[in-house]
Structure 1
């Protein structure tokens, strides 16, 4: 037994050092050199102050800003998850109806159909993107709140629309934080 214990402990210590120390340091070092922005969270800074991350949704509730997807976790990255409500769950149906009512109250003149991503949470609860339809639905409200023309705001949405991933995956989308920062840049 002693003959087997020593080699087993030696291998255990060696693998712990390789996989628990050397490999993580190597991967971190390589990522810092090759992808410094992404490996540090894709933080957007304005005048030396962090405005947010391109990768994590934030809550915007002022009518002069575009609103992102609803978060089931209050945009807390530590709690990333969905609501786990099934499509026939009365609690989900009530929450969706309340969100529809809130959107209609915020922009009562809007007759466009409400895109589903404005009333349902993403799987992670942290999605920073909305569909192009969700952004266009909000153009009237944002333009009115800011005293801008709808054409100018719609043009800004088009400028901030990202295409499909690698040209084939997913749908075109709009990063809400980047769009709102672009709006703030209009004088």
Structure 2
């Protein structure tokens, strides 16, 4: 394998903004999932259950708030070319990224619509923040949206897991820079 100059290597990396969006959304999605898992260990009506739901809901809203500029950044700025490899691998990577973008847009939006259809607003009174309702209260709609939100949430576990496994496969089995491109380092490239 030929040596890559530091300039070429940096050009093949994601931009600082793309790296920020990736890891910020990752942390928020992880917080949303962790909060839902922890909610299962709390008593109905307890302060801990309320806090878990608040973390879940606000993490979701923040994912949605970051998804829009993240998608715009990707559409306007593009992404570095994929690492060399078979066509099927590039197609699978493209499909995976498309699925991830769809999830980070659809999942929080479905959650917000579910909260609204249940007759609630998402609010942080202490900070004076309130997300306007997107739909009127509707119990039947709430049940439908909640079911879709939960089903997609389960599917999202699989997509996230496959995405992480693919990155690790590229790093450890193929030895390419797919994973390294999502880390920003100053100075020389570390190998």
Larger-gyration structure (1/2) = 1
TM range (shorter): under 0.3
* Structure (1 or 2) with the greater strand fraction: 1
Q: Which structure: greater helix fraction? A: 2
TM-score between the two structures when normalised by the length of structure 1: 0.24
With structure 2 as the length reference, what TM-score do the two structures score?
0.23
Bigger relative contact order (CA 8 A; separation at least 6): 2
